[in-house]
Amino acid sequence: MTPRHFLNTQDWSRPDLDALLLQAAAFKRDKLGDQLKGRSIALVFFNPSMRTRTSFELGAFQLGAHAVVLQPGKDAWPIEFDLGTVMDGDTEEHIAEVAQVLGRYVDLIGVRAFPKFVDWSIDRQDRVLESFAKYSPVPVINMETITHPCQELAHVMALQEHFGTSDLRGRKFVLTWTYHPKPLNTAVANSALTIATRMGMDVTLLCPTLEYILDERYMGWAAQNVAESGGSLAVSHDIDSAYAGADVVYAKSWGALPYFGNWAPEKPIRDRYRHFIVDEAKMARTNDGVFSHCLPLRRNVKATDAVMDSPRCIAINEAENRLHVQKAIMAALVKSQG
Ligand code: CP
């Protein structure tokens, strides 16, 4: 049975994920449909976006639905998420009312809510997304919180297109940490690890030090996936051996979890590893591998111009696929509601 919400791919069975990818390919061939005719979706953004907002709005339109974008604290009331709070501060209404009211208006709710980067033990609860899912009478879609499952499917779709097969087992997949001047969200890294292991790939997590290992929940999902899919998972701090023979290089920068809330000591550590940039010399060590990134990407910080402009870069295809996979997700969730 299709899950009620799309919060993480790990909640969805492999056949259900494969069905979403097949439907996404059909939407890529034939863009318009009536699967969401007369329906609507609220897109709730607590953080900025270019790709997610554009692709969800257009995807809804192309299937006959209307999208309403809300930015709490900007063009909508600030929302309280804690229970039992005496709301005499900045928040004007509680998630219990927000989610229930939105659910009376729309058929789907999308939520983007990044971590606050102060206390990982709180951020890892994914409280904003989980609260919407708890109180909403309609399906909720994760538009990036502490994971980014829509990006996962778009990435897999781009890899399947590149390799000409839905079977990605046995491909060497390198998830490489890259430098960025700021400590970024671990969401895409968590997601890349999750979906690459789910697809049975041989995954190497390349990061500067053990402090950049991802949260135990996502390392655990990856280990579980490897056991079920027959892939493998390794952690490496050695650039040359990690890139050697890689079929896929996926880049992302993220902040080291032990420094959440006290980022000052992390900055000099991060600064020492600027050489993790994806460049032509590193890509030359791969098995004629492809490069991708979720975007946005700072050129010549995370990856060089030459890598981004190479025909081996599939980041634009991946970004396009956001549109197709999200249409498949919206259509599947609405259909499951009857
Ligand atoms: N990859 C991604 O989610 O892009 P935006 O932040 O622009 O939505």
Residue 295 annotated as binding site? yes
Query: Is 20 within 8 Å of 29 (Cβ atoms)?
Result: no
CA separation for the pair 196, 27 (Å, rounded) = 23
Predicted local distance difference test score (pLDDT) of residue 282: 98
Residue type, 275: H
Cβ of 316 less than 6 Å from ligand 1 = no
Are the CB atoms for 229 and 257 separated by under 8 Å?
no
Instruction: Output the pLDDT for position 261.
Output: 86
Ligand 1 atom with the shortest distance to the CA of 144: 3
What pLDDT score was predicted for residue 18? 98
Residue closest via CA to ligand 1's atom 6 equals 49
The share of the chain scoring above pLDDT 70, in percent, equals: 100
What pLDDT is stored for residue 338 in this prediction? Answer: 82
- The finding on whether 50 has its CB within 6 A of some atom of ligand 1 is yes
- Looking at residue 237, its pLDDT comes to 98
Structure tokens at 244: 């050697």
Ligand 1 touching residue 142 (CB < 6 A)? no
Residue 313 marked in a binding site: no
Residue 202: its pLDDT value, please? 98
Residues with Cβ within 8 Å of residue 123, at least 6 apart in sequence = 115, 116, 117, 146, 260
Q: Tell me, what's the pLDDT at 117?
A: 87
49 lines ligand 1 (CB under 6 A): yes
Q: Euclidean distance between the first and final Cα of the chain, in Å?
A: 13
Q: Please report the pLDDT score of residue 78 as a whole number.
A: 98
The whole-angstrom separation of Cα 125 and Cα 116 is: 12
CA 305 vs CA 57, 101, 260: distances in Å: 30, 47, 31
Which residue has the least CA distance to atom 4 on ligand 1?
A: 51
Cα 88 to ligand 1 centroid, rounded to whole Å: 34
Q: Is 50 annotated as a binding residue?
A: yes
| Position in ligand 1 atom list of the atom nearest CA 54 | 8
Residue 72 alpha carbon to ligand 1 centre in Å: 18
Listed residue (283, 285, 284, 288) closest to 171, CA to CA: 288
The pLDDT, as a whole number, for residue 1 is 78
Task: Point out the ligand 1 atom lying closest to the alpha carbon of residue 47.
Answer: 6
Q: How many A from CA of 120 to the centre of ligand 1?
A: 22
What tokens does 301 get? 């910080």
Whether the predicted model's global pTM rises above the 0.95 cut: yes
Amino acid of residue 264: A
| DSSP H stretches of helix in the chain | 14-29, 51-62, 95-105, 120-123, 127-135, 149-163, 187-198, 216-229, 239-243, 266-271, 280-283, 305-308, 315-336
In this predicted structure, what is the pLDDT of residue 224?
98
295 CB within 6 A, ligand 1? yes
39 has binding-site annotation = no
Nearest CA residue ID for atom 3, ligand 1: 52
> For the chain, which ranges sit under pLDDT 70?
none
Q: 186 labelled as ligand-binding?
A: no
Query: Is beta strand 290-292 parallel, antiparallel or unpaired with respect to 248-252?
Result: parallel
Q: What is the pLDDT of residue 2?
A: 85
Q: Is 318 in the pocket of ligand 1 (CB under 6 A)?
A: no
pLDDT value of residue 167: 98
- Residue 35 Cα to ligand 1 midpoint, Å, equals 25
